[in-house]
């Protein structure tokens, strides 16, 4: 094997976290290499946040055309071209791949292509070449997982959904997390008959209960068939059907069966830790395969660090980026060590309507703080007074009864993510309900409701 020169930092994985750690470390004078076996930008850029949001934009137009009539516009007959949306999306992703390459190379980072694996705490191998580094960062991300059920080979995941050769007429989505709910909105919005199956009594576990119930009601208005408290027992290929309409039959635990053109599993993501040489290097992992790290993202092996989805904490792109910034700071500056505060992470779910949330749910706030005040409102957005659409917006504030500090803010409605981002700044700064009350609203907007709610719905 050939040995290269030493590096100060060798990064395995050029996703959002790995790229940020690489660039910022190089900017601080470190000699850095990053290895990537697939595509630059990781899940987010290629088969995650970015293409998903582009598909969400595309799926809104059907409703927009309908809504236009109430505003005086007569829209002629419309058609949807899946191949055009898919291929335009792919061109944008390819452009972003180039942007990521330029960012790395401009920062002086050496980009290596191939599957990297650890030989020990200081050496990494790609094919027949060995690289030595004083610090190794594992940022290899995660991958969709499909349970081992009969017929699992007939299911697809979100990875394949972005590249379907043709648009399906009927879609069954299995899962109750944000990816499942978002794809249900995408496929339904683009015209597919869509069914979402979740084994629990209500999807979006971990979100505020009022938000979960509100979203379920809104999705049913959009003719998405929600099947809760059941699960898939088997998937079979239907004999006699041929492309382009090859069909699958989905068998459910409650005895029902559904036919679909595609069956999309969105039942979680597994850390990418297989075939990385972790056992050889002695790196400890959880039972799920996530790499165990301390608050400075150090593994149990000195010199080996890990961030992002592979540590299985909070699988969100901005979190991985923040963790990457901590790595660059902690390893290559004299500044105090940093770690990410996971308590106030603004989050958006790009279902339709959107969810935006930051801070504690009502249940978590009661459990942690006891007495709380809850402010909530739901209303018909101004736009739909003319469009005639039966869609509502929901907003909620959770307030600590004694200190009046706002513990959580939740919204379901158009542009909820854009609105909650600003609210997240307020909560991070420790805003109280009085701070919200004395803030002048922007009229007429939905966002002004967050500063005009005056009467608590409940105190306990």
Q: DSSP for 284-329?
A: -B-TTSPBP--TT-B-SSTTEEE-GGGG-S---HHHHHHHHHHHHH
Q: How far apart are CA 357 and CA 208, in angstroms?
A: 9
Residues 30, 31, 35, 36, Cα dihedral to 10° = 60
Comparing C-alpha atoms, which of 324, 453, 308 is closest to residue 377? Answer: 453
400 is catalytic: no
Q: 235 CB contacts (<8 Å, ≥6 apart)?
A: 149, 150, 151, 152, 154, 155, 248, 249, 250, 251, 263
Alpha carbon of 65 to those of 187, 317, 389, 402, 441: distances in Å?
Answer: 17, 33, 12, 48, 30
Alpha carbon of 305 to those of 109, 268, 324, 330: distances in Å?
Answer: 18, 24, 10, 11
Single out the catalytic residue among 60, 251, 305, 443.
Answer: 443
Cβ burial 78-112 (10 Å sphere, 16+ → b, else e)? eeeebeebbeebeeebeebbeebbebbeeeebbbb
Query: Any idea which residues carry the catalytic annotation?
Result: 443
């Amino acid at each position: 094997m050939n040995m290269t020169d030493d590096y100060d930092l060798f990064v395995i994985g050029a996703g959002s976290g790995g790229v940020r750690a690489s660039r910022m470390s190089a900017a601080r004078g470190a000699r850095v290499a990053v290895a990537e076996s697939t595509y630059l930008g990781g899940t987010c850029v290629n088969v995650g946040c970015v293409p998903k949001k582009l598909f969400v934009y595309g799926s809104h137009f059907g409703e927009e055309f309908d809504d236009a009539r109430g505003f005086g516009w007569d829209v002629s007959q419309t058609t949807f071209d899946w191949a055009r949306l898919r291929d335009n999306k792919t061109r944008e992703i390819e452009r972003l791949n180039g942007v990521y390459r330029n960012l790395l190379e401009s920062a002086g980072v050496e980009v290596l292509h191939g599957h990297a694996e650890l030989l020990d705490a200081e050496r990494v191998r790609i094919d027949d070449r060995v690289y030595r580094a004083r610090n190794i960062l594992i940022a290899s991300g995660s991958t969709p997982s499909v349970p081992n059920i009969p017929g699992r080979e007939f299911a697809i995941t979100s990875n394949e959904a972005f590249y379907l050769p043709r648009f399906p007429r009927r879609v069954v989505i299995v899962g109750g997390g944000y990816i499942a709910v978002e794809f249900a909105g995408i496929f339904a919005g683009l015209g597919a008959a869509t069914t979402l199956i979740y084994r629990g009594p209500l999807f979006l576990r971990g979100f505020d209960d009022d938000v979960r119930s509100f979203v379920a009601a809104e999705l049913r208005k959009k003719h998405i068939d929600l099947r809760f408290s059941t699960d898939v027992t088997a998937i079979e290929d239907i004999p006699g059907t041929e492309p382009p309409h090859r069909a699958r039959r989905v068998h459910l635990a409650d005895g029902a069966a559904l036919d679909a053109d595609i069956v999309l599993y969105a039942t979680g993501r597994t850390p990418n830790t297989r075939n990385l040489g972790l056992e050889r290097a002695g790196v400890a992992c959880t039972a799920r395969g996530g790499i165990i790290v301390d608050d400075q993202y150090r593994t149990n092996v000195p010199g080996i660090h890990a961030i992002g989805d592979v540590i299985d904490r909070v699988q969100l792109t901005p979190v991985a980026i923040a963790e990457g910034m901590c790595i660059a700071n902690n390893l290559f500056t004299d500044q105090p060590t940093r770690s990410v505060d996971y308590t106030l992470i603004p989050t958006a779910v790009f279902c339709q309507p959107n969810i935006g949330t930051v801070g504690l749910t009502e249940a978590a706030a009661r459990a942690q703080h006891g007495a709380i005040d809850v402010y909530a409102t739901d209303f018909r957005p101004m736009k739909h007074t003319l469009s005639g659409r039966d869609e509502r917006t929901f907003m909620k504030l959770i307030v600590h009864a004694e200190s009046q500090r706002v513990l959580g803010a939740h919204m379901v409605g158009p542009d909820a993510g854009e609105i909650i981002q600003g609210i997240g700044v307020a909560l991070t700064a420790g805003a109280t309900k009085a701070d919200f009350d004395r803030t002048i609203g922007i009229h007429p907007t939905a966002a002004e409701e967050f500063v005009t709610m005056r009467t608590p719905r409940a105190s306990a």
